């Protein structure tokens, strides 16, 4: 009979593989499930992947702790080195006092004054100049008038021309292209 029971055990083991339950899973409460089921196989694969991820996270945490320790040691080393060095020296080269006085007075410049926040338009560009250019062109945009004045030798912006054209009494209208144009009074 020993041979028949051995055969029965080998047949049973071939039909139902007996595996040890992985860590963290409770055995005994679930009903027996067919091991060849695709759902069971997919579940087992998922469990193995999750366990592998848990192990990977544990390894990464250990690596992270080691790196943090190394960073703390490096910061402490830099602090010790900076305290040993003392105050940083200026990077510029200093001349001896006897040599510095004549050289400094020879190169001394007039101190810069504050920039004026008023008129940025060149003084040569006046309302009369803008009026003359508008009369020459007949009509034009601020950019066209500014480029004509710039060609004459004085650089000026369209913004300044807009300001001066309005002060010069030029008529402002919208052209067919939608841009603001200036012309002199016709009457």
Best-predicted range by mean pLDDT among 7-11, 61-65, 85-89, 173-177? 61-65
Strand arrangement of the beta sheet that strand 139-141 belongs to: 139-141, 180-183, 171-174
Q: Give tens-digit pLDDT for 69-98.
A: 999 999 999 888 888 777 666 566 666 655
pLDDT surpassing 60 at residue 66: yes
pLDDT score of 14: 46
pLDDT band at 112 (very low <50, low <70, confident <90, very high): low
* Alpha-carbon gap, residue 65 to 59, rounded angstroms: 10
Residues forming beta bridges with residue 181, ordered by sequence position: 141, 173
Q: Give tens-digit pLDDT for 121-150.
A: 888 889 999 999 999 999 999 999 999 999
CA nearest 142: which of 118, 117, 167? Answer: 167
For helices 158-167 and 127-137, give the axis angle rounded to 10 degrees: 100
**Secondary structure (DSSP) of the chain:** -HHHHHHHHHHHHHHS---PPPTTPPPSSSPP--TT-HHHHHHHHHHHHHHHHHHHHHHHHHHHHHHHHHHHHHHHHHHHHHHHH-SPPPSSPPPPHHHHHHHHHHH--PPPPPPP-S--S-TT--HHHHHHHHHHHSEEEHHHHHHHHHHTT----HHHHHHHHHHTT-EEEE-TTS-EEEE----
**Residues 131, 184 contacting (CB under 8 angstroms):** yes
**Residue carrying structure tokens 């060149």:** 122
CATH 1.10.10 assigned to 127-183: yes
pLDDT score of 31: 62
Average the pLDDT over 33-58 and give the result. Answer: 91
Phi, psi of 172 (to 5 degrees): -110, 130
């Amino acid at each position: 009979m020993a041979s028949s029971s051995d055969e029965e055990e080998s047949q049973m083991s071939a039909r139902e593989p007996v595996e040890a339950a992985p860590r963290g899973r409770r055995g005994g409460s679930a009903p027996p499930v067919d091991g060849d089921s695709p759902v069971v196989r997919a579940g087992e694969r998922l469990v193995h992947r999750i366990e592998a991820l848990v192990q990977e996270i544990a390894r990464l945490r250990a690596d992270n702790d080691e790196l943090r320790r190394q960073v703390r040691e490096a910061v402490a080393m830099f602090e010790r080195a900076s305290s040993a060095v003392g105050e940083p020296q200026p990077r510029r080269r200093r001349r001896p006092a006897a040599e510095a006085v004549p050289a400094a007075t020879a190169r001394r410049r007039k101190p810069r004054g504050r920039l004026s926040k008023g008129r940025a338009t060149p003084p040569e560009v006046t309302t009369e100049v803008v009026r003359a250019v508008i009369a020459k062109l007949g009509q034009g945009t601020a950019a066209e008038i500014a480029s004509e004045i710039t060609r004459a030798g004085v650089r000026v912006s369209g913004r300044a021309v807009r300001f001066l054209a309005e002060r010069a009494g030029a008529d402002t209208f919208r052209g067919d292209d939608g841009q603001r144009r200036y012309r002199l009074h016709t009457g």
